[in-house]
Amino acid sequence: MKVFNNWLETLKQIVRDNPKKIAISLIISSVVIGILFFLVSYSRTAIRQNQIEALVYRQVLSDKLVPLPYDKESEKIKKTAAISVLFVKPSNPDFQEILRIFEKQDSELNRSIYFYPLIYQVEKIGEKYQLNGEEATFIFFEGGIEKNRFTYQSIDTPEKNIIPELNRLPMWNMKVLETTEE
């Protein structure tokens, strides 16, 4: 206990003798810690983006399947007037099937489909867009608001019907009209 009290008294004496030096040291230390914290958080995002590009985006050979940057999907969705997005885990077997279909039939698509791989923060993204992480989900957004969706598993004979379904996806008001007429 004496050692601690002696150390505390010495520290108090140093602070009393050099208040400006202590204040400047604390400010510099805070700035350095803040910069290091920023660099670590920025580099984590950059590393994850590079990993996704190297491991996932290179599998995508279709020009109509456009990758969304990691952690910036909501920005793109909000800023784009109308956008269709595929949310899927790359480990999902349906993902490989979707890639194969896109490679063969992408010329039949009437627009690009954006792709966001569910790798990091799957639960957070799943809650945000009401996604089942085990399904490949296509969602159409208009002005940042979801208007229509379907899952790959909900399509009968995806090999034949997925491209027509994707072409109809933006026609959200047609689906609303069809359900109100019934």
Query: Per residue in 115-154, pLDDT tens?
Result: 888 888 888 989 999 998 889 999 999 988 999 899 999 9
Look at residue 48 in the predicted model and tell me its pLDDT: 77
The SS3 call for residue 89 is: coil
Mean pLDDT of 69-76: 80
Question: Is the pLDDT reported for residue 181 higher than 80?
Answer: no
Residue ranges with strand state E in 14-164: 65-67, 82-88, 113-117, 137-142, 145-151
Given a contact cutoff of 8 angstroms between Cβ atoms, the answer to whether 65 and 106 are in contact is yes
Report how far apart, in Å, the C-alpha atoms of 124 and of each of 37, 79, 149 are: 23, 21, 19
Given a contact cutoff of 8 angstroms between Cβ atoms, the answer to whether 97 and 76 are in contact is no
- The label of the residue with tokens 């990993």 reads 51
Nearest by Cα to 169 from 144, 157, 151: 151
Mean pLDDT of 85-95: 90
Look at residue 178 in the predicted model and tell me its pLDDT: 42
The model's confidence at residue 86, banded by pLDDT at 50, 70 and 90, is very high
